[in-house]
Amino acid sequence: MKALILYPMNALANDQAERLARLITEYPELSGVSAGLYTGEQSTGGRTKVTEEGLITDRSLMHAAPPDILLTNYKMLDHLLLHPDRADIWRLSAGSLQYVVLDEFHTYDGAQGTDVAMLLRRLGLTVKSHWTDASPVTEADRARPLGRITPVATSATLGSKAEPTAMLEFAHTVFGESFDADAVIGETRLSTSEWLADRDTTLDRLYRPITPSITDASQI
Give the pairing of strands 35-38 and 69-73.
Answer: parallel
Residue 122's pLDDT is: 97
pTM of the model: 0.82
Predicted confidence (pLDDT) per residue in 203-217, tens digit: 555 555 555 555 555
Residue 111's pLDDT is: 92
Average predicted confidence (pLDDT) for the chain: 87
**Which secondary-structure segment (H or E) carries 114?**
helix 110-129
Predicted confidence (pLDDT) per residue in 15-58, tens digit: 999 999 999 999 999 999 999 999 987 766 789 999 999 999 99
Average pLDDT over residues 74-81: 95
> Of the given ranges (40-54, 163-177, 183-197), which has the lowest mean pLDDT?
183-197
Residue 220's pLDDT is: 45
Angle between helices 74-82 and 110-129 (to 10 degrees): 40
- pLDDT higher than 50, residue 175: yes
> 7: Cβ–Cβ under 8 A, 6 or more apart, which residues?
13, 16, 71, 72, 73, 103, 104
Terminal CA-to-CA distance of the chain, rounded, Å?
Answer: 65
Judge contact between 53 and 62, C-beta under 8 A.
no
pLDDT band at 201 (very low <50, low <70, confident <90, very high): low
pLDDT above 90: percentage of residues in the chain: 67
- pLDDT higher than 80, residue 168: yes
Residues 3-189, CATH architecture: 3-Layer(aba) Sandwich (3.40)
- pLDDT higher than 60, residue 199: yes
